[in-house]
Structure 1
Amino acid sequence: MIDHMGIGASDFAASRRFYDAALAPLGYVPLMEVTAEETGGYHGIGYGKDGKPAFWLGNDGPRGTGIHVAFSASCRAAVDAFYKAALASGGRDHGAPGLRPHYHANYYAAFALDPDGINVEAVCHAAE
């Protein structure tokens, strides 16, 4: 349903460090960058895999902390690695890795707040 989404950052460099580190264990990497010179002001990084950027980080300021973004993880170890990298790169704890059986029996997730307070999640739906 959703082709891509974007968020803005108040400190683009700090947020880029956070997302570069936190998304790497999930296999999401910067795939495309557009500069302010190219666009007339907007600087953005498109993260994704398989050649398609689906999550964009921009320099156009935070759009609100009511945003929640959940990234798919291939396994529980990737969720754990996401959480560790997120906290090590400026994120704040918003829910340690673990099962959330109130969603479903195999819902394994971790949550971190990015530098602007956006709730970022990594989730694995596999049984193990």
Structure 2
Amino acid sequence: MRLFDHLGVSVDDLPRSIAQFDPVMQALGCERQDADGSVSWSKGEDELILFPARVGESGPHRHGRVGWQHLAFPVSSRDEVDRLHAIAIDAGWTAVREPKLYPRFNDRYYASFVEDDNGIRFEFMHNPPREPAAAD
């Protein structure tokens, strides 16, 4: 059984958030589904849903406070991290951390962090497996 089925996120301005999320989610290979009062993107059985906040103008979320921290998307290459980062920036996300290596995690971990107008933070990351040691 999967660990997660879907992730729901509340946003202040649903149309503005759709404009920011849609290019990124499409670039990740997700399919969009519009519904009354929400929109979702899915890839296989995984789904991300945006809902309008029940209390208007209650955002943005502040990173580091109780609640949402970030959502990391594993991708196939450093070039893909760079590409997704650029797509997010073009869609109005703010760069929190430009694409770079994160040796504090390991010497292969390459990632970028972006944040939307609601304070929702995404990480695009490439962390290839360690090369197996050569047999003697």
Q: Deviations over 1:31-79 (max 9, x none)?
A: x3321xxxxxxx22221213x3421111225583342111222222221
- State whether structure 2 residue 64 is matched by structure 1 residue 64: no
* Aligned residue pairs, count: 118
CA distance in 1: counterparts of 2:111 and 2:42, whole angstroms: 19
Q: TM-score, normalised by structure 1?
A: 0.80
Alignment RMSD (CA, Å)? 2.0
**Corresponding position of 1:115:** 117
More helix by share: 1
CA distance in 1: counterparts of 2:79 and 2:73, whole angstroms: 14
**Corresponding position of 1:87:** 89
- Detail structure 1 runs of 4+ shifted over 4 Å in the superposition: none
- CA shift in 2, pair 1:63/1:113, >3 Å: closer
1:45 to 32, 36, 39: 39
Q: TM-score, normalised by structure 2?
A: 0.75
CA contact (8 A) 2:94 2:115 kept: yes
5+ residue gaps in structure 2? 130-136
User: Which has the higher relative contact order, 1 or 2, with Cα contacts under 8 A spaced 6 or more apart?
Assistant: 1
CA contact (8 A) 2:4 2:46 kept: no
- Amino-acid identity (%): 25
